[in-house]
Amino acid sequence: MDSYQWSLADLFSYMSRNSDLLWEHFLSHLYMVVSGVGLAIVLGIPLGVLCTRHEKLAKVILGITSILQVIPSLALLVLLMLVLGLGSKTVIVGLLFYSLNPIVRNTYIGLKQVDASYIEAGRGIGMSPFQLLVKVRFPLSLPYIISGLRIAAVIAIGVVTIAPLVGGEGLGREIYAGINNQNPLRIYAGAIPAALIAIVADLVLGYFQRKLNFADRKSSPSTS
């Protein structure tokens, strides 16, 4: 027990002494996650909408994004490194590819799951297909989309920890420096903040998903 308390005190001391460097790694980690997942949202949501319009194309798009996601993360980053070179750009593009499948798939499923009565009501008041998408289908599919974003974010936070292997920054630098130097304090100083980011992202996005699900249930038409 005493040795555990002592090692924990050492960890806090190390993190305090190196707070500036750790904060820089933390921000780099967050920047790559937000950039990669953000690009996946920009590309993935329109692809999900496209899938609902063309079922044959949906199989192709979902198939490609599924293949991208099952490629081992290190292998994908190394392949991208051969094209893009070392650095954070390679990691961000890798995160884009890794995050596409949950976002595209959940957007597609969410739009498909919208109750037909809402669509008919929108058509009844003269809404165009674009208005139905923006004002009816998309808002009602948000719980599914946020669920996909939640999965993508947690995966991305984990993948970024191997960014140093392809010249990227982030908390992974501290983890790998600790492994190379056999210094557990450096490993924990990188791993604990990375785990906390993943936990916080999951809790926050899960909260919004539950709120949207509750609002959707309250607004659903009665079946009497």
pLDDT in tens, 101-141: 999 999 999 999 888 888 888 888 888 888 888 888 888 89
- State the Cα–Cα distance between residues 150 and 202, nearest whole angstrom: 6
* Structural domains in the chain, sorted by start: 27-216 (1.10.3720.10)
Q: Residue with structure tokens 């957007």?
A: 107
Of 22-26, 35-39, 81-85, 121-125, the one with minimum mean pLDDT is 121-125
Q: Which residue in 64, 37, 73 sits closest to 154, CA to CA?
A: 37
pLDDT band at 84 (very low <50, low <70, confident <90, very high): very high
Residue 99 has pLDDT above 90, yes or no: yes
Q: Helices 73-84 and 88-112: crossing angle, nearest 10°?
A: 120
> The whole model's pTM is what?
0.86
Residue 215 has pLDDT above 90, yes or no: no
Residue 222 has pLDDT above 60, yes or no: no
- State the Cα–Cα distance between residues 36 and 98, nearest whole angstrom: 9
Q: Helices 138-159 and 88-112: crossing angle, nearest 10°?
A: 150
Name the amino acid, one letter, at 123.
R
